[in-house]
Amino acid sequence: MKTLKFVVTVAIVLVTSFGASAQLTGREIIDKTYNRPAGDDQTSILTMTLINKSGQSRVRKIKQFTKDFGDMEKKIMFFMSPADVKNTSFMNWSYDNDKADDQWIYLPAIKKTKRISSDSKSDYFMGSDFTYDDLGDRKLDADIHTLLREETINGFDCYVVENVSKDDEYMYSKTVSWIRKESFVGVKKEFYDEDGDLLKILTIKKVEKISGYWVIVSSEMKNIQKNHTTKINLTDVHVNTNVPASKFTERMMMRGI
């Protein structure tokens, strides 16, 4: 099954569960969540709003394209606003194996494309409250998944699954996911820090069915320890529009939207 990882949209995926009954294990639930059919490519306009504890906010509007290449996923993003970073573009290739992501950035002010690299999947993405991992780069077997209970939340029947990292040094001691039984779309996720204290809460605000695929179009991550919030909204979403493979090159980065 092809996977499509959305750097921004989230990993939590819908699987039309064919009566997959109560015998599902925690691992199976998360597997179905991570690996849900999501089309081969997607385009959208992403609005990311960062709100700090003083209530100040930064709003960024980005046009983004994603395409699944089988063993890898490519994504290209063009900044539309604020004005001083307009046409700055960012490209990310992430691989299904353990290879680190390749990343490039194009800075129009110097008309140069530069490779950047980030050490870890635990890095926060663009000053947001999402890490690359949170956005969907997490591998299924990096955690041990345990089904805790089933409960109804926000009107949805959910599985509640606890995910504990196999790596002691991982930034979260555990996460807890609420996943809709009928669609395997997430509703909520809690992240606990190394000391076991609640660090962040992800809330899925709105899910839309686009071209037959469930897409999370509005979500909010709140870091309760820092009182910092990131809101992500997708508009103008299109799935399977045959985005050409040639879109994901350094040349295209320089050309702009």
Q: Is 57 or 211 the residue whose CB approaches another protein more closely?
A: 57
Minimum CB separation of residue 151 from another protein in Å reads 31
Phi, psi of 68, deg, nearest 5: -90, 125
Minimum CB separation of residue 105 from another protein in Å reads 6
Minimum CB separation of residue 131 from another protein in Å reads 12
Binding test (CB under 8 A) with another protein, winner from 2, 16, 25, 57 = 57
Q: Which pairs with CB-CB distance under 8 Å and at least 24 residues apart come from 217-222? A: 219/10, 221/128, 221/129, 221/130, 221/134, 222/129
Cis peptide before 108 (omega within 30 of 0): no
CB 192 within 8 A of CB 200: no
d(CA 236, CA 222): 25
| 255 part of the interface to another protein, by CB under 8 A | no
The β-bridge partners of 207 are 216
Binding test (CB under 8 A) with another protein, winner from 70, 97, 110, 236 = 110
| 59 part of the interface to another protein, by CB under 8 A | no
Q: Is 156 or 192 the residue whose CB approaches another protein more closely?
A: 192
Minimum CB separation of residue 232 from another protein in Å reads 16
CB 15 within 8 A of CB 184: yes
Q: Is 60 or 188 the residue whose CB approaches another protein more closely?
A: 60
Binding test (CB under 8 A) with another protein, winner from 21, 23, 97, 117 = 117
Binding test (CB under 8 A) with another protein, winner from 100, 116, 148, 257 = 116
| 196 part of the interface to another protein, by CB under 8 A | no
Q: Is 25 or 52 the residue whose CB approaches another protein more closely?
A: 52
Residue position matching structure tokens 């353990």: 98
Of the candidate spans 23-31, 68-76, 114-122, 214-222, the one that interacts with another protein by CB under 8 A turns out to be 114-122
DSSP 185-254: -EEEEEEE-TTS-EEEEEEEEEEEEETTEEEEEEEEEEETTTTEEEEEEEEEEEESS---GGGSSHHHHH
**Residue 71 CB neighbour total at 10 angstroms:** 11
126 SS3 class = coil
User: Which of the residues 61 through 90 are near another protein (CB under 8 A)?
Assistant: 79, 82, 84-85, 88, 90
Task: State the residues that interact with another protein by CB under 8 A.
Answer: 50, 52, 54, 56-58, 79, 82, 84-85, 88, 90, 103-105, 107-110, 112, 114-119, 123-127, 193-195
